[in-house]
Amino acid sequence: MTDYQQTYWEHIEEGSLWLQYCSHCQRYVFYPRRHCPYCPRENLEWRQTSGQGRVHSYTLVRVSALPEFKDLVPYIYALVDLVEGIRIPTNIIECAVDQVRVDMPVTLATIKREGRALPVFKPFQKQN
């Protein structure tokens, strides 16, 4: 694991989602990498995200090819658009299959799989 990947996973373990940011392009970067994918710059900085987003697309996984997820089927696999402008692949938890929808607001959560915290999202519930 590289240094930049390690930073990402350490923050996930703490329950927060941090992404790299290119101050030259003024854009967030996902997945962690050495160079900005939009320009040839290095020295990307880390910024904490809001952990808020909306479901862009989703599907129901009924048969998982990944052994670490076989006990979770069926589960919702989704692309989530973060408010920071990045789309990430993830799972939606704590949501009935018939309740998930495109543009549904979601918030960051984590689950433990194979001894590692993974970023997932759950429906966002406004506090009254």
Identify the pLDDT of residue 66: 87
The residues that bridge with 89 in the sheet, in sequence order, are: 79
Q: Kindly indicate the confidence band of residue 85, based on its pLDDT and cuts at 50, 70 and 90.
A: very high
Identify the pLDDT of residue 32: 93
- Does the pLDDT value for residue 2 go beyond 80? no
Identify the pLDDT of residue 126: 72
Q: What is the pTM of this model?
A: 0.91
End-to-end CA distance of the chain: 42
Identify the pLDDT of residue 92: 98
